[in-house]
Amino acid sequence: MEVQTIMIVDDDTEIREGLRILLSGENYMIIEAADGNQALERLSDIVDLVILDIMMPGLSGLRVCEEIRRRSPVPILFLTAKAQESDKLVGLMAGGDDYLTKPFSYAELVGRVKALLRRYCVYRGKAQAGAMSRDNILSARGIRLSLDYNQVWVRGREVELTDIEYRILRLLMQNPQRIFSTQNIYESVWGEPYFYISNGTVMVHIRKLRVKIERDPQSPSCLKTVWGKGYRFEINGREDGEA
């Protein structure tokens, strides 16, 4: 099995050392960065996960996350001392996939790391290559989604989705016309117990997904909101782009 690589970005030397020792013990390869600029310099295709501190001098973790998202769909796990739900939503809006508040237990950190890597590598098929069968492609409304890898084409153009965005779209496209509540989506995609505050997390990712797949994100034709009930993937009507 190929060794997976994690980049740890934190200006605190002791935190980086502790995480390096812990994750090296789990057989991960570790790359360290002491600030945002160093992280962007060291980011490459070999990185499978970024653990990113938010509060750093110079470039903040949020700015670093936004720049990473312009280059890569690699999963990003935020570490922060901020525990407010609004802070979490800001991190997710910037492109993060998960959020862990300091202080945290090493068991929880390792669990979240393994979950993010499993989803990224299994669904995106990062280290795999080869042609895809038509049987492994979902196609509707001008959108084509690979069931083998995190690959999506919108009106013939490949778009980069984060792991979470891909899993939401896949869930909805595999069950067209079915209405999924925010609880359904959260428990299916995140694989965690649902709480009321999880509504905001789902809404943020739906909003970002619409920006990437809809012609008009303000008036979506595919990823529909069913008020008071949830969301569905609409397959009735013309494909986007048809006359």
Six token digits for residue 158: 């490949």
Residue 191: inside a domain: yes
Residue 242: inside a domain: no
Do 159 and 223 lie in one domain? The reply is yes
Q: Is the model's pLDDT at 242 over the cut of 70?
A: no
Do 196 and 216 lie in one domain? The reply is yes
Do 161 and 190 lie in one domain? The reply is yes
State which of 76, 93, 124 marks the end of a domain. Answer: 124
Domain count for the chain, please give it.
2
Six token digits for residue 238: 């013309």
Q: Is the model's pLDDT at 108 over the cut of 50?
A: yes
State pLDDT tens for residues 10-31: 999 999 999 999 998 888 889 9
What CATH number does residue 72 fall under? 3.40.50.2300
Residue appearing with tokens 């098929």: 125
Spatial separation of the C-alpha atoms in residues 185 and 181, rounded to whole Å: 6
Six token digits for residue 81: 């001392």
Do 114 and 144 lie in one domain? The reply is no
State pLDDT tens for residues 29-63: 899 999 999 999 998 888 899 999 988 888 889 99
Do 111 and 202 lie in one domain? The reply is no
**DSSP label of 136:** G
Do 141 and 218 lie in one domain? The reply is yes
Residue 11: inside a domain: yes
Domain that holds residue 218: 134-233
Run of H or E including 60: none
Do 110 and 184 lie in one domain? The reply is no
Mean pLDDT on 132-156 = 78
Among 40, 93, 47, CA closest to 67: 40
Where is average pLDDT lowest: 13-27, 73-87, 116-130, 166-180?
116-130
R_g of the chain computed on alpha carbons: 18
Which amino acid belongs to residue 29? M
Do 89 and 182 lie in one domain? The reply is no
What CATH number does residue 177 fall under? 1.10.10.10
Mean pLDDT on 220-240 = 82
- 6 sits in the region (left: phi over 0; alpha: psi -120 to 50; else beta) called beta
**DSSP label of 45:** T
Do 193 and 229 lie in one domain? The reply is yes
Sign of CA dihedral 111, 115, 121, 122: positive
Residue 170: inside a domain: yes
